[in-house]
């Protein structure tokens, strides 16, 4: 991870406790607090309120909002991922390292090629996880939604892995 990616992740880690306090529902519904103070000049400080984030996906219970960059292109990227309760990915790996911070909820993770949600490991809000390039894993949300922030360096692709039977 280059220096800029590390700085972006560090910034996210400092900001994330405020996001976690709001929870997943209020993150997407929140807007600016009532104030008479003028919004900062957008050519100096870019602000995107939760209510204005563009969420995509929803397939297999995963929703994604790009914060900056593009995982498919060279350079640093940051995305928010919301997992709906009871939804998981299946065994896969990524072609570059990805750095995740659990903003709210509990993220359930496994490094097995056997997909069995009963054997996923709970990672609570406030935790940091590094998905290593080329290493198999799968993840999701068990009984409550989870919100994670991912930072990485592109180009990155995701490759499915044949599952082993339990």
- Model confidence at 166, pLDDT cuts 50, 70, 90, reads confident
Residue among 154, 108, 163 at smallest CA distance from 136: 163
**27-34 average pLDDT score:** 68
Asked if residue 117 lies in contact with residue 88, where contact means CB atoms within 8 angstroms, the answer is yes
Instruction: Tell me how far apart the 2 most distant CA atoms of the chain are, in Å.
Output: 60
Q: What is the pLDDT of residue 32?
A: 75
Q: 35 falls in which pLDDT band (50, 70, 90)?
A: confident
How many residues can be counted in the chain?
Answer: 166
The domain defined by 3-29+50-160 folds into Jelly Rolls (2.60.120)
Please say if the pLDDT value at position 9 is more than 70: no
| Phi, then psi, of 6 in degrees rounded to 5 | -65, -40
């Amino acid at each position: 991870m280059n220096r800029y990616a590390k700085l972006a992740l560090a910034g996210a880690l400092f900001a994330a406790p405020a996001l976690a306090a709001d929870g997943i529902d209020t993150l997407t519904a929140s807007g600016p607090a009532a104030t008479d103070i003028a919004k900062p000049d957008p050519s100096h400080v870019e602000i995107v309120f939760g209510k204005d984030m563009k969420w995509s996906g929803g397939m297999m219970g995963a929703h994604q909002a790009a914060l900056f960059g593009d995982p498919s292109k060279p350079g640093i990227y940051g995305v928010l991922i919301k997992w709906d309760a009871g939804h998981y990915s299946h065994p896969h790996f990524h072609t570059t390292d990805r750095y995740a911070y659990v903003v709210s909820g509990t993220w359930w993770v496994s490094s097995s090629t056997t997909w069995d949600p009963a054997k996923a490991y709970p990672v609570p809000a406030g935790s940091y996880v590094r998905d290593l390039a080329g290493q198999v894993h799968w993840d999701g949300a068990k009984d409550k939604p989870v919100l994670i922030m991912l930072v990485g360096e592109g180009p990155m692709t995701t490759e499915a892995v044949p599952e082993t039977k339990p």
